[in-house]
Every structure is written in structure tokens, then in C-alpha cells.
Amino acid sequence: MRIRTGGPADADEIVQVRTASWRAAYSGIVDEDALAELPEVAPERFVRSLARRREFAITLVAEKGPNVIGFASVGWDTRESSEEASGPGDPGEVWAIYVHPDHWGRGAGFALMREVHRWLAERDMLPVRVWELAGNDIGRRFYERYGFVADGETGALDLAGASYPLERLTLPKDRPVEELR
């Protein structure tokens, strides 16, 4: 397995990983019709976003052979600052991290998290935060094994006319990248 920066050529595979992961992890949490309508092909705006290089945001992909099996997108904490107002000293945020369900439990998620944690730490964008869909026990166990803890902040994901509760988890600022199991 190899971790590398994702680009426009990876867009469809990234969307397919996200869709498969959502359907497996969020079944019974998110409306089944909404899950069934998730895209299999990347919208053009997503392809363009992968082509755009940003100083304080990146998408990494986990690749096994010729296939993308997972990805992570990270950058500034979107609830605390904008792209223009972010930088060293500001919190980082894991915007998305997904591994195709066929590859769960094989280390791709931890490899991605280790690399995004390292990337954010190199830019002094700590602590690292992530928003977790309430009831997603699979995701919660993953984040807790890495060292994230609930910090009491809540929000909501609005999707297909429904609202789903979110909880924010934070990785302590002093968590060394090397401590990852």
C-alpha cells in the first residue's frame, strides 16, 4: 500500500470509496434512500477542487496496486476560520477519511490518519479535529483507537431533507504522530 497526494485522475475512485463506505457504515443511521442516491461518479466541481493546490489543505489517497482503496481530505478547521484566514497555529480538521469496506481493518485508515496528522503537524495546525456522525460506532472506534476524544461540541449534517447529529472529536495537541498503533 502506498499513500500519495490525490489528484483529478483519482476523483471517481475517491467518490466510489466514499459511497461504498457511507453505505456500509451509515446503514441504519442515514436514510436508506439517501444512501442509495449517493453518486458513483465525481461531480466536475470535485474534480476541479482536486486540481487546485492549497497551502493549508490536501487530499491523500491510499493506493493498493493500481486502485485507490481509501482517502483523507484535511485542512483548516472550517468552523473556526476560512481558507484565507487559516494558517500555522490554527486547528486542523479531518474533513473526510474513508476506506473502502473491502479493506477495513487492514491498516489503510491508520496509514492515512498518520500521514494527515503528520501533514497538519508540519504546518502547526494542531489540535486535529473531526466531526463524527452520531451512532457511527465503526468510525468512533477508529478515532478513539487513534486517540481522539469527544470535546463536547455538536453540530448537524443536513442531507436529503433530514438532519443528522454530529459530534466533534479532538486529538490532543501533544499527541505524537509516532504513538500511533
Q: Is the pTM of this model over 0.85?
A: yes
Model confidence band, residue 82 (pLDDT cutoffs 50, 70, 90): low
Cis amide linkage into residue 127, ω under 30° from 0 = yes
Q: Which of the following CATH numbers is that of domain 2-179: 1.10.150.170, 3.30.43.10, 3.40.630.30, 3.40.30.10?
A: 3.40.630.30
pLDDT of residue 172: 82
Model confidence band, residue 52 (pLDDT cutoffs 50, 70, 90): confident
Cα separation of 33 and 56, whole Å? 35
pLDDT tens per residue across span 27-46: 999 999 999 999 989 888 88
pLDDT of residue 163: 95
Neighbours of 112 (CB within 10 A): 24
Mean pLDDT over 73-101 rounds to 80
Nearest Cα residue to 96 out of 172, 33, 17: 17
| Terminal CA-CA length for the chain | 17
Model confidence band, residue 73 (pLDDT cutoffs 50, 70, 90): very high
Indicate the SS3 state at residue 122: helix
Share of the chain above pLDDT 70, in %: 90
pLDDT of 84 > 60? The answer is no
pLDDT of 85 > 90? The answer is no
pLDDT of residue 10: 95
Q: Where are the alpha helices (DSSP H) in 26-82?
A: 32-36, 44-51
Per the model's pLDDT, the better-predicted residue between 88 and 149 turns out to be: 149
Instruction: Give the range among 9-23, 47-61, 63-77, 116-130 with minimum mean pLDDT.
Output: 47-61
Per the model's pLDDT, the better-predicted residue between 47 and 115 turns out to be: 115
Indicate the SS3 state at residue 43: coil
**Mean per-residue pLDDT of the chain:** 89
pLDDT of residue 179: 56
Cα separation of 164 and 1, whole Å? 34
